[in-house]
Amino acid sequence: MITLHNISKTFATAEGPLHAVSSASLEVEQGDIYGLIGFSGAGKSTLLRTINLLERPDEGSVIVDGEEFTGLPLRELRKRRLSIGMIFQHFNLLNNRNVYDNVSFPLEIAKVPKAQRRQRIESCLEMVGLSDKAKAFPAKLSGGQKQRVAIARALAGNPKILLCDEPTSSVDPQTTGSILAALQEINRNLGITIVIVTHEMNVVKAICNKVAVMEQGKIVEKFDLREKNIAPQSPIAKYLFKNEITLVREMEASYA
């Protein structure tokens, strides 16, 4: 579904060139919920953003649904972007549009006639359980509700892929659960392939079937989480997996 091949991206900064992503390759299959995990600054967001070319890689190829994206003219690329939804840590909703009109936004971009928009918007809002908030403005919603509006908005264009950049990193733990549940439901019921960037192993454990660990711009290890024995080799992967185990033990201790 998505093939990233030898992606590199360097930013020019005041302190000199910054290799945000170095020769990263990734294969995401149809129906995957693929996690990208790593510490802050590892290059996860940059790599994710190359998938819809919000970030154009200096090197490497981006192949989505069998099509090489990097060579496409901008006009064509914009059409492809309609079938790739994206959600963000800070939701990025239009504050001056109500929930209904936010979900309507991608349909307007795609020039869907008004009469056809209505049904689509309503069904998307229903999918995320926010039909009753259609008239509300984002400022009046909780973080979890905002993210669900963002999910509804991302679904409006009937995407095959959903890109998520730290979708649970600015909400509380309970809300994290409801957002992840919504993502899993979308994946299962609509068959949408999901790539999710996070720094929390809990998120990966909760919904991902595969995960790639990033450090300093490189993908250091990949895991298929459906396998029985997961034996991380790299120090960072060991740390991330172990950290999780420690958390569990602490939780058990607190129940004891």
Alpha carbons 186 and 218: distance in angstroms, whole number: 29
Decide: is 42 part of the binding site for ligand ADP (CB under 6 A).
Answer: yes
Residue (of 41, 47, 36, 28) closest to 161 by Cα position: 28
Span from 21-29, 91-99, 180-188, 197-205 in contact with other proteins (CB under 8 A): 91-99
Decide: is 239 part of the binding site for other proteins (CB under 8 A).
Answer: no
| Cβ-based neighbours of 71, under 8 Å, separated by 6 or more | none
Backbone angles phi, psi at 36, to 5 degrees: -120, 115
| Cβ-based neighbours of 7, under 8 Å, separated by 6 or more | 21, 23, 24, 25, 47, 50, 57, 59, 60, 61, 62
97 to 75, 137, 138, 209: CA distances (angstroms): 26, 6, 8, 36
Cβ 22 to other proteins shortest distance, Å: 23
By beta-carbon proximity to ligand ADP, the closer residue of 15 and 132 is 15
Site for Mg ion in 25-54 (CB under 5 A): 45
Alpha carbons 214 and 219: distance in angstroms, whole number: 4
Decide: is 108 part of the binding site for other proteins (CB under 8 A).
Answer: yes
20 binds, among ligand ADP, Mg ion, other proteins, none (CB under 5 to 8 A by kind): ligand ADP
Decide: is 45 part of the binding site for ligand ADP (CB under 6 A).
Answer: yes
- The site for other proteins, by CB under 8 A, has a size of 31
Tell me, residue by residue from 158 to 177, as one string, x for binding to Mg ion by CB under 5 A and - for no binding. Answer: --------------------
Span from 10-18, 80-88, 108-116, 139-147 in contact with ligand ADP (CB under 6 A): 10-18
Q: Are 219 and 35 contacting, i.e. CB atoms less than 8 angstroms apart? A: no
The Cα diameter of the chain in Å comes to 61
Pick the binder of ligand ADP from 6, 11, 67, 249 (CB under 6 A).
11
Decide: is 20 part of the binding site for ligand ADP (CB under 6 A).
Answer: yes
Q: Are 28 and 2 contacting, i.e. CB atoms less than 8 angstroms apart? A: yes
Decide: is 57 part of the binding site for other proteins (CB under 8 A).
Answer: no
Decide: is 44 part of the binding site for ligand ADP (CB under 6 A).
Answer: yes
254 binds, among other proteins, Mg ion, ligand ADP, none (CB under 5 to 8 A by kind): none
Residues in the site for Mg ion, rule: CB under 5 A? Answer: 45
